[in-house]
Protein backbone atom coordinates (compact mmCIF):
# COMPACT_ATOMS: atom_id res chain seq x y z
CA UNK A 1 0.00 0.00 0.00
CA UNK A 2 1.32 3.45 -0.90
CA UNK A 3 2.01 6.16 1.59
CA UNK A 4 -0.72 8.65 0.76
CA UNK A 5 -4.19 9.84 1.71
CA UNK A 6 -6.63 10.75 -1.05
CA UNK A 7 -9.25 13.50 -0.84
CA UNK A 8 -12.20 13.93 -3.21
CA UNK A 9 -12.64 17.67 -3.49
CA UNK A 10 -14.77 20.51 -4.79
CA UNK A 11 -13.80 24.13 -4.11
CA UNK A 12 -14.21 26.22 -0.96
CA UNK A 13 -15.12 23.58 1.69
CA UNK A 14 -12.49 21.19 0.39
CA UNK A 15 -9.85 23.94 0.37
CA UNK A 16 -10.41 24.56 4.09
CA UNK A 17 -10.15 20.86 4.94
CA UNK A 18 -7.03 20.48 2.79
CA UNK A 19 -5.30 23.41 4.49
CA UNK A 20 -5.80 21.49 7.74
CA UNK A 21 -4.78 18.11 6.33
CA UNK A 22 -1.57 19.45 4.75
CA UNK A 23 -0.73 21.14 8.06
CA UNK A 24 -0.85 17.84 9.98
CA UNK A 25 0.58 15.54 7.27
CA UNK A 26 3.59 15.95 4.99
CA UNK A 27 1.84 17.65 2.02
CA UNK A 28 3.39 15.22 -0.47
CA UNK A 29 1.41 12.44 1.24
CA UNK A 30 -1.85 14.13 0.23
CA UNK A 31 -3.52 13.45 -3.13
CA UNK A 32 -6.51 15.54 -4.20
CA UNK A 33 -8.94 14.36 -6.87
CA UNK A 34 -10.70 17.52 -7.97
CA UNK A 35 -14.06 18.18 -9.60
CA UNK A 36 -13.93 19.41 -13.20
CA UNK A 37 -17.72 19.62 -13.72
CA UNK A 38 -17.57 23.36 -12.85
CA UNK A 39 -15.05 24.03 -15.63
CA UNK A 40 -16.10 26.64 -18.13
CA UNK A 41 -14.89 28.69 -21.07
CA UNK A 42 -14.82 32.46 -20.73
CA UNK A 43 -13.23 34.99 -23.11
CA UNK A 44 -11.71 32.05 -25.01
CA UNK A 45 -10.01 30.76 -21.86
CA UNK A 46 -10.36 27.42 -20.10
CA UNK A 47 -11.29 28.06 -16.45
CA UNK A 48 -11.04 25.24 -13.89
CA UNK A 49 -12.49 26.93 -10.78
CA UNK A 50 -12.19 24.05 -8.32
CA UNK A 51 -8.69 23.04 -9.45
CA UNK A 52 -7.60 26.66 -9.04
CA UNK A 53 -9.27 27.05 -5.63
CA UNK A 54 -7.30 24.02 -4.43
CA UNK A 55 -4.01 25.19 -6.00
CA UNK A 56 -4.41 28.69 -4.56
CA UNK A 57 -5.36 27.36 -1.11
CA UNK A 58 -2.43 24.96 -0.97
CA UNK A 59 -0.01 27.66 -2.09
CA UNK A 60 -1.37 30.01 0.61
CA UNK A 61 -2.72 32.58 -1.86
CA UNK A 62 -6.47 31.92 -1.85
CA UNK A 63 -8.75 34.83 -1.00
CA UNK A 64 -10.18 33.06 2.05
CA UNK A 65 -13.01 35.56 2.49
CA UNK A 66 -14.44 35.00 -0.99
CA UNK A 67 -13.39 31.34 -1.01
CA UNK A 68 -12.17 31.59 -4.62
CA UNK A 69 -9.61 33.60 -6.60
CA UNK A 70 -6.42 35.23 -5.38
CA UNK A 71 -5.84 37.47 -2.38
CA UNK A 72 -5.13 41.16 -3.15
CA UNK A 73 -6.60 40.68 -6.63
CA UNK A 74 -7.39 43.55 -9.01
CA UNK A 75 -10.04 43.49 -11.75
CA UNK A 76 -8.77 46.02 -14.31
CA UNK A 77 -9.17 43.68 -17.28
CA UNK A 78 -12.77 42.91 -16.23
CA UNK A 79 -13.55 46.65 -16.08
CA UNK A 80 -11.92 47.23 -19.45
CA UNK A 81 -13.64 44.32 -21.19
CA UNK A 82 -17.18 45.22 -20.02
CA UNK A 83 -17.65 48.14 -22.46
CA UNK A 84 -16.38 45.90 -25.27
CA UNK A 85 -19.55 43.83 -24.88
CA UNK A 86 -17.94 40.74 -23.36
CA UNK A 87 -19.69 38.93 -20.49
CA UNK A 88 -18.60 40.35 -17.15
CA UNK A 89 -20.73 38.39 -14.66
CA UNK A 90 -17.89 35.95 -14.01
CA UNK A 91 -15.25 37.93 -12.17
CA UNK A 92 -11.86 37.01 -13.56
CA UNK A 93 -9.12 38.82 -11.67
CA UNK A 94 -5.98 40.14 -13.33
CA UNK A 95 -3.50 37.78 -11.63
CA UNK A 96 -5.99 34.89 -11.89
CA UNK A 97 -6.05 35.52 -15.65
CA UNK A 98 -2.37 34.57 -15.80
CA UNK A 99 -3.37 31.07 -14.62
CA UNK A 100 -6.17 30.76 -17.21
CA UNK A 101 -3.98 32.09 -20.05
CA UNK A 102 -1.24 29.60 -19.17
CA UNK A 103 -3.66 26.67 -18.84
CA UNK A 104 -5.38 27.49 -22.13
CA UNK A 105 -2.10 27.87 -24.01
CA UNK A 106 -0.69 24.60 -22.65
CA UNK A 107 -3.94 22.72 -23.42
CA UNK A 108 -3.82 24.12 -26.95
CA UNK A 109 -0.25 22.81 -27.18
CA UNK A 110 -1.53 19.29 -26.51
CA UNK A 111 -0.99 18.81 -22.78
CA UNK A 112 -3.81 17.20 -20.79
CA UNK A 113 -5.58 19.03 -17.96
CA UNK A 114 -3.71 16.71 -15.58
CA UNK A 115 -0.33 17.63 -17.12
CA UNK A 116 -1.13 21.33 -16.93
CA UNK A 117 -2.28 21.05 -13.32
CA UNK A 118 0.90 19.19 -12.37
CA UNK A 119 2.96 21.95 -13.98
CA UNK A 120 1.00 24.74 -12.27
CA UNK A 121 1.26 22.96 -8.90
CA UNK A 122 5.04 22.77 -9.30
CA UNK A 123 5.27 26.44 -10.29
CA UNK A 124 3.04 27.47 -7.35
CA UNK A 125 5.08 25.38 -4.88
CA UNK A 126 2.20 22.99 -4.11
CA UNK A 127 3.58 19.71 -2.82
CA UNK A 128 0.31 17.80 -2.61
CA UNK A 129 -0.61 15.89 -5.77
CA UNK A 130 -3.55 17.70 -7.39
CA UNK A 131 -5.37 15.45 -9.89
CA UNK A 132 -8.32 16.66 -12.01
CA UNK A 133 -10.91 13.85 -11.96
CA UNK A 134 -10.77 13.49 -15.74
CA UNK A 135 -8.89 14.91 -18.70
CA UNK A 136 -12.03 14.48 -20.76
CA UNK A 137 -14.79 17.05 -20.96
CA UNK A 138 -17.25 16.68 -18.05
CA UNK A 139 -19.71 19.55 -17.56
CA UNK A 140 -22.39 19.90 -14.90
CA UNK A 141 -25.61 21.22 -16.41
CA UNK A 142 -28.60 22.43 -14.44
CA UNK A 143 -32.03 21.70 -15.88
CA UNK A 144 -34.31 24.66 -15.07
CA UNK A 145 -37.85 25.51 -16.26
CA UNK A 146 -36.17 27.97 -18.68
CA UNK A 147 -33.90 25.27 -20.09
CA UNK A 148 -30.49 23.74 -19.54
CA UNK A 149 -27.79 26.09 -18.20
CA UNK A 150 -24.17 25.55 -17.22
CA UNK A 151 -23.19 25.27 -13.57
CA UNK A 152 -21.46 28.67 -13.57
CA UNK A 153 -24.51 30.31 -15.20
CA UNK A 154 -26.65 28.83 -12.42
CA UNK A 155 -24.22 29.53 -9.57
CA UNK A 156 -22.64 32.87 -10.43
CA UNK A 157 -24.76 34.58 -13.11
CA UNK A 158 -28.17 33.57 -11.71
CA UNK A 159 -27.04 33.39 -8.02
CA UNK A 160 -28.67 29.91 -7.68
CA UNK A 161 -32.17 31.44 -7.97
CA UNK A 162 -33.67 29.30 -10.79
CA UNK A 163 -35.79 26.29 -9.85
CA UNK A 164 -33.86 23.09 -10.43
CA UNK A 165 -35.54 20.15 -12.18
CA UNK A 166 -32.49 17.92 -12.37
CA UNK A 167 -28.70 17.93 -12.63
CA UNK A 168 -26.85 16.40 -15.58
CA UNK A 169 -23.18 15.45 -15.72
CA UNK A 170 -22.67 15.92 -19.42
CA UNK A 171 -19.84 13.78 -20.83
CA UNK A 172 -19.23 11.91 -17.56
CA UNK A 173 -20.52 8.50 -18.71
CA UNK A 174 -17.94 8.44 -21.53
CA UNK A 175 -15.16 10.16 -19.56
CA UNK A 176 -12.05 8.21 -18.66
CA UNK A 177 -10.23 8.52 -15.36
CA UNK A 178 -6.46 9.01 -15.59
CA UNK A 179 -4.43 6.06 -14.28
CA UNK A 180 -3.01 8.36 -11.57
CA UNK A 181 -6.56 8.97 -10.27
CA UNK A 182 -7.54 5.29 -10.21
CA UNK A 183 -4.28 4.19 -8.55
CA UNK A 184 -4.55 7.03 -6.03
CA UNK A 185 -7.93 5.58 -4.96
CA UNK A 186 -6.82 1.95 -5.09
CA UNK A 187 -3.63 2.44 -3.10
CA UNK A 188 -4.63 5.11 -0.57
CA UNK A 189 -4.21 4.62 3.16
CA UNK A 190 -7.63 6.24 3.48
CA UNK A 191 -9.93 8.32 1.31
CA UNK A 192 -11.67 11.43 2.59
CA UNK A 193 -14.66 13.00 0.89
CA UNK A 194 -14.32 16.70 1.66
CA UNK A 195 -17.30 18.66 3.02
CA UNK A 196 -18.22 19.75 -0.51
CA UNK A 197 -21.58 19.88 -2.28
CA UNK A 198 -22.46 16.18 -2.89
CA UNK A 199 -24.35 16.97 -6.10
CA UNK A 200 -22.25 19.51 -7.98
CA UNK A 201 -18.78 19.11 -6.43
CA UNK A 202 -18.46 15.39 -5.60
CA UNK A 203 -21.26 14.16 -7.94
CA UNK A 204 -19.36 14.89 -11.18
CA UNK A 205 -16.30 13.02 -9.84
CA UNK A 206 -18.44 9.97 -8.96
CA UNK A 207 -20.17 10.13 -12.36
CA UNK A 208 -16.93 9.07 -14.06
CA UNK A 209 -17.52 5.29 -14.18
CA UNK A 210 -13.89 4.22 -13.53
CA UNK A 211 -13.77 6.43 -10.41
CA UNK A 212 -16.96 5.05 -8.88
CA UNK A 213 -15.75 1.50 -9.65
CA UNK A 214 -12.39 2.20 -8.01
CA UNK A 215 -14.15 3.55 -4.90
CA UNK A 216 -16.32 0.43 -4.71
CA UNK A 217 -13.28 -1.83 -5.04
CA UNK A 218 -10.62 -0.09 -2.97
CA UNK A 219 -9.55 -1.59 0.33
CA UNK A 220 -8.98 1.89 1.76
CA UNK A 221 -11.51 3.23 4.27
CA UNK A 222 -13.70 5.94 2.74
CA UNK A 223 -14.66 8.68 5.18
CA UNK A 224 -17.03 11.55 4.30
CA UNK A 225 -17.24 14.82 6.19
CA UNK A 226 -20.82 16.08 6.01
CA UNK A 227 -21.29 19.46 4.30
CA UNK A 228 -24.75 19.59 5.87
CA UNK A 229 -25.51 20.52 9.48
CA UNK A 230 -29.09 19.82 10.57
CA UNK A 231 -31.12 20.55 7.45
CA UNK A 232 -28.88 23.25 5.95
CA UNK A 233 -25.61 23.28 4.05
CA UNK A 234 -22.61 25.01 5.68
CA UNK A 235 -22.60 27.19 2.53
CA UNK A 236 -23.91 27.31 -1.04
CA UNK A 237 -26.83 25.77 -2.92
CA UNK A 238 -26.48 22.14 -1.81
CA UNK A 239 -30.00 22.07 -0.28
CA UNK A 240 -31.76 23.05 -3.49
CA UNK A 241 -29.65 20.65 -5.56
CA UNK A 242 -29.97 17.69 -3.18
CA UNK A 243 -33.75 18.14 -3.06
CA UNK A 244 -33.94 18.29 -6.85
CA UNK A 245 -31.99 15.02 -7.04
CA UNK A 246 -34.28 13.28 -4.53
CA UNK A 247 -32.02 13.34 -1.48
CA UNK A 248 -33.09 14.44 1.98
CA UNK A 249 -31.17 17.59 3.00
CA UNK A 250 -29.46 16.17 6.09
CA UNK A 251 -26.33 14.20 7.01
CA UNK A 252 -28.43 11.07 6.29
CA UNK A 253 -29.03 12.37 2.76
CA UNK A 254 -25.29 12.88 2.31
CA UNK A 255 -24.69 9.27 3.39
CA UNK A 256 -27.22 8.12 0.78
CA UNK A 257 -25.27 9.92 -1.97
CA UNK A 258 -22.21 7.78 -1.12
CA UNK A 259 -24.01 4.65 0.12
CA UNK A 260 -22.39 2.13 -2.23
CA UNK A 261 -18.84 2.70 -0.99
CA UNK A 262 -18.90 4.75 2.24
CA UNK A 263 -17.33 3.33 5.43
CA UNK A 264 -17.58 6.29 7.85
CA UNK A 265 -19.21 9.69 8.09
CA UNK A 266 -18.24 12.63 10.30
CA UNK A 267 -21.19 14.79 11.35
CA UNK A 268 -21.47 17.99 13.37
CA UNK A 269 -21.82 17.84 17.15
CA UNK A 270 -25.29 19.43 17.07
CA UNK A 271 -26.42 16.45 14.97
CA UNK A 272 -25.22 13.92 17.58
CA UNK A 273 -28.81 12.74 18.18
CA UNK A 274 -29.00 11.62 14.52
CA UNK A 275 -26.03 9.27 14.85
CA UNK A 276 -28.06 6.20 15.88
CA UNK A 277 -30.51 6.58 12.98
CA UNK A 278 -27.75 7.09 10.37
CA UNK A 279 -25.53 4.25 11.58
CA UNK A 280 -25.92 0.88 9.91
CA UNK A 281 -23.93 -2.35 10.01
CA UNK A 282 -21.03 -1.24 7.87
CA UNK A 283 -21.18 2.52 8.47
CA UNK A 284 -19.40 4.26 11.34
CA UNK A 285 -20.80 7.63 12.47
CA UNK A 286 -18.43 10.05 14.24
CA UNK A 287 -19.38 13.32 15.87
CA UNK A 288 -17.26 16.47 16.24
CA UNK A 289 -17.22 20.19 15.45
CA UNK A 290 -16.96 20.18 11.63
CA UNK A 291 -16.89 23.97 11.14
CA UNK A 292 -13.54 25.40 9.98
CA UNK A 293 -13.56 29.17 10.57
CA UNK A 294 -9.75 29.18 10.85
CA UNK A 295 -6.68 27.03 10.30
CA UNK A 296 -6.69 25.76 13.90
CA UNK A 297 -10.17 24.29 13.46
CA UNK A 298 -9.19 22.88 10.08
CA UNK A 299 -6.16 21.16 11.68
CA UNK A 300 -8.31 19.79 14.46
CA UNK A 301 -10.87 18.38 12.03
CA UNK A 302 -8.08 16.86 9.89
CA UNK A 303 -6.60 15.19 12.99
CA UNK A 304 -10.04 13.90 13.96
CA UNK A 305 -10.58 12.49 10.45
CA UNK A 306 -7.18 10.79 10.51
CA UNK A 307 -8.13 9.33 13.90
CA UNK A 308 -11.31 7.82 12.40
CA UNK A 309 -9.05 5.91 10.04
CA UNK A 310 -6.55 5.03 12.78
N1 LIG B 1 -17.70 32.65 -7.76
C2 LIG B 1 -18.61 33.64 -7.65
O3 LIG B 1 -19.51 33.55 -6.81
N4 LIG B 1 -18.56 34.76 -8.47
C5 LIG B 1 -17.58 34.92 -9.40
O6 LIG B 1 -17.57 35.92 -10.11
C7 LIG B 1 -16.59 33.90 -9.51
C8 LIG B 1 -15.52 34.00 -10.38
C9 LIG B 1 -14.52 33.01 -10.39
C10 LIG B 1 -13.41 33.16 -11.20
C11 LIG B 1 -12.42 32.18 -11.23
C12 LIG B 1 -12.54 31.06 -10.40
O13 LIG B 1 -11.59 30.12 -10.42
C14 LIG B 1 -13.65 30.91 -9.58
C15 LIG B 1 -14.64 31.88 -9.56
N16 LIG B 1 -15.75 31.77 -8.73
C17 LIG B 1 -16.68 32.75 -8.66
C18 LIG B 1 -15.92 30.60 -7.89
C19 LIG B 1 -16.58 29.42 -8.59
O20 LIG B 1 -17.46 29.74 -9.59
C21 LIG B 1 -17.32 28.53 -7.59
O22 LIG B 1 -16.93 28.74 -6.28
C23 LIG B 1 -17.10 27.10 -7.83
O24 LIG B 1 -17.29 26.72 -9.14
C25 LIG B 1 -17.94 26.24 -6.89
O26 LIG B 1 -17.11 25.31 -6.32
pLDDT tens readout for residues 48-104: 999 999 999 999 999 999 999 999 999 999 999 999 999 999 999 999 999 999 999
Architecture of domain 5-42+50-63+114-138+170-308: 3-Layer(aba) Sandwich (3.40)
Task: Indicate which atom in ligand 1 lies nearest the CA of residue 53.
Answer: 13
Q: What is the mean pLDDT of residues 267-296?
A: 93
- DSSP E strand boundaries for the chain: 5-9, 30-34, 40-42, 45-47, 129-132, 139-144, 147-150, 166-170, 190-193, 221-225, 228-229, 232-233, 264-268, 284-288
Through-space distance between the first and last CA atoms of the chain, rounded to whole angstroms: 15
- For the chain, the structural domain boundaries read 5-42+50-63+114-138+170-308
How confident is residue 127, by pLDDT bands cut at 50, 70 and 90? very high
Bridge partners, 46 (sequence order): 41
| Beta carbon of 155 within 6 Å of any ligand 1 atom | yes
Under the banding of pLDDT at 50, 70 and 90, the label for residue 205 is very high
Q: Is 247 in the pocket of ligand 1 (CB under 6 A)?
A: no
Question: Is the CB of 36 within 6 Å of ligand 1?
Answer: no
Q: What's this model's pTM, rounded to 2 decimal places?
A: 0.97
Q: Does 282 score more than 90 pLDDT?
A: no
Mean pLDDT of 255-271: 96
Determine if ligand 1 sits within 6 Å of the CB of residue 154. no
| CA 151 to ligand 1: nearest atom | 24
Answer for the pair 253, 209: CB distance below 8 angstroms, yes or no.
no
Ligand 1 center to 90 CA (angstroms): 7
> For every residue of 174-238, which 3-state class applies, written as one string?
HCCCCHHHHHHHHHCCEEEECCCCHHHHHHHHHCCHHHHHHHHHCCCEEEEECCEECCEECCCCH
90 lines ligand 1 (CB under 6 A): yes
Best substitution site from 68, 71, 88, 92 to test ligand 1's pocket, by max atoms within 8 Å of Cβ? 68
Task: Count Cβ atoms within 10 A of the Cβ of residue 183 and give its class: 0-12 exposed, 13-18 middle, 19 or more buried.
Answer: middle
Amino acid sequence: MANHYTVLAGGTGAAKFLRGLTAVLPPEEVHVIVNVGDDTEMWGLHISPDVDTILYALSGRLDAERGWGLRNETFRCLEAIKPLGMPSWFQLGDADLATHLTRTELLRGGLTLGDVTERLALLFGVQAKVLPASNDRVRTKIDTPEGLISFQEFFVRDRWQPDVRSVIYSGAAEARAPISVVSSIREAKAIFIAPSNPITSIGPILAVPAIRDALRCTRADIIAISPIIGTAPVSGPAAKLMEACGYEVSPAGVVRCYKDFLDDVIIHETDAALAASIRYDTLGVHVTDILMPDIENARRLAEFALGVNG
